[in-house]
């Protein structure tokens, strides 16, 4: 299908612009007339049609209303966003497997590469929609497979900063959390796995509200993956990566040293194992 031709012929993003132009021309409306009807600049409409800019959600909704498109443009915009996330995610997994350095900030749950199967299953189950529930075991299998990167002969440096909130908030069963913390402590014995806890005593920090992963490759390039509520944002744009690296470095400076972090994890483990 033309929607999935990603060789420069037609992508979901290009299809949106093409459909807008064809729909407008079919009813004999000029760009200027359409711009006046939807209340946006003519230059904005032109850039969307030429695939130089995506419409905002508000503009997509107005186009559907004015052109009586039955949700076509809002649906296409959602498809563009979904395909962009999927493309970056697949590229991210390839990069992760070959990375020289993996840096992670985790806010409310422990990092995926450190998770046990039971802990990971609960994090997935709570986040998947009803429609996505049948894919839970598939997601889980993929995550557990990814963890092999830490155990290979020449593993990357894995350095994670974990908000204490992730230790405080357990899954439904306390024994699952106890096993999870034991797993974290085991992995921190590996020479290239570092875990630091950012304690509540440090109050606010620049990574509140989201999680971050930075992947640095052998050639020195770095890409970032930012996750927050129901969204994933990937980038390798240097200005954005530099800003995210700075935020992570500040959070790291506020975290406990490794030995003290292990002590704090042990304290929580005793509570969950009691």
In this structure, the answer to whether residues 172 and 66 fall within a common structural domain is no
Cβ within 8 Å of residue 51, ≥6 positions away = 13, 14, 16, 17, 18
Of the two residues 184 and 207, the one the predictor is more confident about is 184
Six token digits for residue 76: 């296409």
198: helix, coil or strand?
A: strand
Cβ within 8 Å of residue 13, ≥6 positions away = 51, 54, 80
Q: Please report whether residue 94 resides in a domain.
A: no
In this structure, the answer to whether residues 200 and 108 fall within a common structural domain is yes
Q: Please report whether residue 88 resides in a domain.
A: no
HSE-up (13 A, CA, CB side) for residue 192: 15
Place of tokens 């109050």: 203
What CATH code is carried by the domain that includes residue 139? 3.30.870
Q: In this predicted model, what pLDDT tens digit does every residue of 227-262 receive, in sequence order?
A: 876 667 778 889 999 999 999 999 999 999 999 999
In this structure, the answer to whether residues 103 and 76 fall within a common structural domain is no
| Residues 185-217: b if buried by 16+ CB within 10 A, e if exposed | eebbeeeebbbbbbbeeeeebebeebbbbbbbe
In this structure, the answer to whether residues 108 and 242 fall within a common structural domain is yes
Query: Rounded to whole angstroms, how far apart are CA atoms 16 and 23?
Result: 11
What is the pLDDT of the chain when averaged over all its residues? 88
Q: In this predicted model, what pLDDT tens digit does every residue of 197-236 receive, in sequence order?
A: 999 999 888 888 779 999 999 999 999 988 876 667 778 8
In this structure, the answer to whether residues 160 and 57 fall within a common structural domain is no
């Amino acid at each position: 299908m033309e929607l999935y031709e990603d060789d420069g012929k037609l992508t979901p993003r290009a299809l949106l612009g093409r459909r807008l132009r064809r729909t407008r021309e079919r009813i004999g409306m000029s760009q200027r007339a359409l711009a006046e009807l939807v209340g946006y600049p003519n230059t904005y409409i032109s850039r969307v049609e030429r695939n130089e800019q995506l419409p905002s959600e508000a503009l997509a909704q107005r186009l559907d209303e004015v052109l009586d498109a039955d949700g076509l443009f809002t649906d296409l915009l959602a498809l563009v966003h979904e395909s962009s996330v999927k493309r970056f995610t697949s590229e991210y997994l390839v990069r992760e497997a070959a990375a020289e350095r993996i840096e992670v900030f985790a806010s409310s749950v422990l990092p995926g590469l450190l998770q046990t199967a039971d802990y990971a299953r609960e994090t997935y189950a709570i986040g998947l929609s009803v429609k996505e529930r049948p894919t839970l075991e598939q997601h889980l299998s993929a995550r557990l497979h990814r963890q092999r990167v830490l155990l290979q002969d020449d593993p990357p440096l894995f350095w994670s900063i974990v908000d204490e909130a992730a230790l405080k908030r357990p899954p439904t069963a306390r024994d699952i959390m106890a096993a999870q913390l034991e797993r974290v402590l085991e992995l921190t014995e590996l020479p290239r796995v570092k875990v630091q806890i950012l304690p509540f005593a440090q109050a606010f920090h620049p990574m509140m509200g989201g999680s971050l992963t930075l992947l640095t490759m052998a050639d020195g390039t770095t890409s970032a993956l930012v996750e927050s509520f129901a969204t994933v944002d990937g980038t390798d744009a240097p200005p954005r990566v530099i800003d995210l690296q700075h935020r992570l470095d500040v959070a790291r400076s506020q975290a406990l040293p490794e030995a003290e972090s292990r002590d704090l994890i042990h304290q929580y483990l005793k509570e969950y194992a009691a």
